[in-house]
Amino acid sequence: MPALAENELPLTEATYFILLSLADEPRHGYAILKDVEALSQARIVFSTGTLYGALKRLLDTGWIERLDDTALPGSEPGPGRPRKAYALTQLGRRVLAAEVARLRTLVKAARRRLIQEAT
């Protein structure tokens, strides 16, 4: 695990689910909002203002980047203001991987303890 990623842990649940939402493909803000709600089983339900504040913070940390609207598969520029799409950066991917590894360690310890108590 990179030291930089370890220094950023633990992630908040909201940050974790935003990064996880972007792990498989870039998404527009509204798609992130809906995906986070689904991934978290409605534990995290963002207002648009809260989501865009979190996205700004993640842009500032370099964990995500803003893409051209046309960067998404099947996207064509539409009329009006272009929508913003977001993607994980390599740093963001390393931070997410470090958090997943941290969570696995926690679950492994809990399983060992619970198995011990059951015997």
pLDDT at 40: 98
For the domain spanning 3-118, the CATH number is: 1.10.10.10
Q: What is the pLDDT of residues 54-112, one digit of tens each?
A: 999 999 999 999 998 665 655 555 566 667 899 999 999 999 999 999 999 999 999 99
pLDDT band, residue 117 (cuts 50/70/90) = confident
Q: Which two tokens stand for residue 51?
A: 């989501």
pLDDT score, position 80? 63
- Contact criterion met (CB below 8 Å) for 41 and 117: no
